[in-house]
Amino acid sequence: MEIQIEQAKDYSAVESLVQNAFVDVEFSDHQEHLLVKRLRKSAAFIPELALVAKIEDEIVGYILYSKIKIINDNQEYKVLAVAPLAVLPKKQKQGIGSA
């Protein structure tokens, strides 16, 4: 398995993977693939932290880190959020999401 920075040519495959990964998740709005599209267009997007996992040129996993702010009382913290982390259903439970 190789982990690479997501490229524009990967976008369609990644969106399909994310949609399929969440299709049977009970506590999902099934819109995670649309979240990915919105985040890519936002100031929170960090291209170097949008990663794909590939096995023999097939994208089997995806993770996206984006910038967020946590505000608590008068303090502001700039941190990274993970959303989504997705693995192709046929490849789940094989350690890809923990790589």
The mean predicted confidence, pLDDT, of the chain is 97
CATH label of the domain that carries residue 64: 3.40.630.30
55 domain residue, yes or no: yes
Q: Which CA distances in Å does 7 have to 16, 42, 51, 59, 73?
A: 15, 16, 9, 11, 39
Total domains in the chain come to 1
Kindly report the pTM of this predicted structure: 0.93
The string of pLDDT tens digits covering residues 16-29 is: 999 999 999 999 99
Q: Could you list the residue range(s) of the whole structural domain that residue 53 is in?
A: 2-92
